[in-house]
A and B are shown apart, each in its own frame.
Chain A
């Protein structure tokens, strides 16, 4: 639950509360209400339990992905991301 998963914003969904993110070719819906301003496509965020907690640079996102792999937590992080079920159906699934 304390895993921080980096994700790249694909789009902000209608209503402005949810966004589609992509991590290692997997797309999922996350909540973006805890960010000060809505993110834009291409930006990176750090995700905790389905919520974007802060914006990060692309460099920092790469660093976090590498760190997850080094800690042996990359598979767990992807399982968590794929496990988010609260998004609308069309957004689910692997691209």
Chain B
């Protein structure tokens, strides 16, 4: 247990790891998916797999927004700003996602007016400061960030800002989990539920996983001890033959979620009939579009989108990694053509992407040891 010493309370970590060992049946193999990219990052950073018995396998889920974004959406946004001389605004993670003709960062270097913002309210502010230009906010994220975009749209409507639109790429986590459960090549035993998304949606939306699919779900915090305790809670459910939704992160996640945030979401957004996810394909009712009342601020209504369908670079195996069929280092491009400095696939872009996390904490460590 080489990393135990740097934990805040090594004794508690050791106790949790011992408890996991006691609860594990050596005769079976456990596949547990951590849905959230933040958990993936923490699992690699703290080398938690080293504390688990070898028959517990952690499968990295789709909860990294830039990782599941189809490449065509980047190209569509770039085509709009270049055709209409608009300003494109987005978060830092998106700046580095490769499109067919370069990432937003590369296109910025070639002269496109693309600006990184830290909040959708900054994109709106930019629009008010430049009334002669159109500002598009490339919105991305799960339910953690979608309420912020929704509130910004309410504000744009109140202020009657006419030179501001949102290109919504917001997705919802529950339909993706359902798609994974229905996928024939996916054999999972349980889920570590996302922490921050659940502060918004609460614990109720996961009930079907336990009820209909008989799989335990434990919503977890991000500390090493949180994750280990959550795994122990899952194993206890499995040992007892139970399938329930439990909340290990109750100090932050209320069972009913954030009611004002859900209200704002419902006012501004509605579900798209379907949306494409990188690696998972089209998933019905899995993404958010602006309601008709907000169509004046909807980039997809205001501008003609070329509806670009772009297949991922052939050699990249992002889809297989996203579904947990391959481990990051098993992809043909990993660590060679595709690195965090020069990502080919989006899983290498964000620190929450399985490939970037694996590269930073496992690959570099192994390389240093050679």
Contact = CB atoms under 8 A, between A and B. Distances in A.
Contact of B151 (A2, A51, A80, A81): A51
A63 B118 contact: no
A54 B262 CA distance: 13
Interface in A76-95: 80-81, 83-86
Interface of B: 8, 37-38, 41-42, 45-46, 65, 91-93, 117-122, 124-125, 140-141, 144-145, 147-148, 151, 196, 199-200, 222-223, 251-252, 254, 258-261, 264, 351-352
Interface in A39-60: 46, 48-51, 53-54, 56-57, 60
B257 to A, nearest CB: 10
A43 to B, nearest CB: 15
A34 interface: yes
Contact of B258 (A50, A53, A70, A81): A53
Contacts of B145: 1-2, 48-49
A14 interface: no
Given A80-B118, A83-B118, A51 B148 contact: yes
A49 B91 contact: yes
Closest 9 CB pairs of A and B: A50-B119, A83-B118, A86-B121, A1-B91, A51-B148, A80-B118, A85-B122, A86-B125, A34-B261
Contacts of A67: 222-223
Determine which residue in A49, A50, A56, A71 has the highest number of CB atoms from chain B within 10 A of its CB, and name it.
A49
Q: How large is the interface on A (under 10, 10 to 19, 20 to 34, 35 or more residues)?
A: 20 to 34
A19 B200 CA distance: 20
Nearest to B129: A85
Interface of A: 1-2, 4, 31, 33-36, 46, 48-51, 53-54, 56-57, 60, 63, 66-67, 70-73, 80-81, 83-86
B37 A2 contact: yes
B3 to A, nearest CB: 11
B118 A84 contact: yes
A36 B200 CA distance: 12
Contacts of B45: 70-72
Contacts of B252: 46, 54, 56, 60
Nearest to B223: A67
A14 B158 CA distance: 18
Contacts of A63: 223
Contacts of B141: 1-2, 49
Contact of A1 (B42, B46, B93, B258): B93
Q: Which of B119, B122, B124, B254 has the most CB of A within 10 A?
A: B119
Given A2-B352, A34-B261, A36-B259, A50 B144 contact: no
Contacts of A51: 119, 147-148, 151
Given A50-B118, A53-B200, A85-B122, A1 B41 contact: no
B175 to A, nearest CB: 19
Nearest to B147: A34
B116 to A, nearest CB: 8
B249 to A, nearest CB: 10
Contacts of B196: 2, 4, 48, 53
B307 to A, nearest CB: 25
B258 A54 contact: yes
A68 B260 CA distance: 27
B323 to A, nearest CB: 21
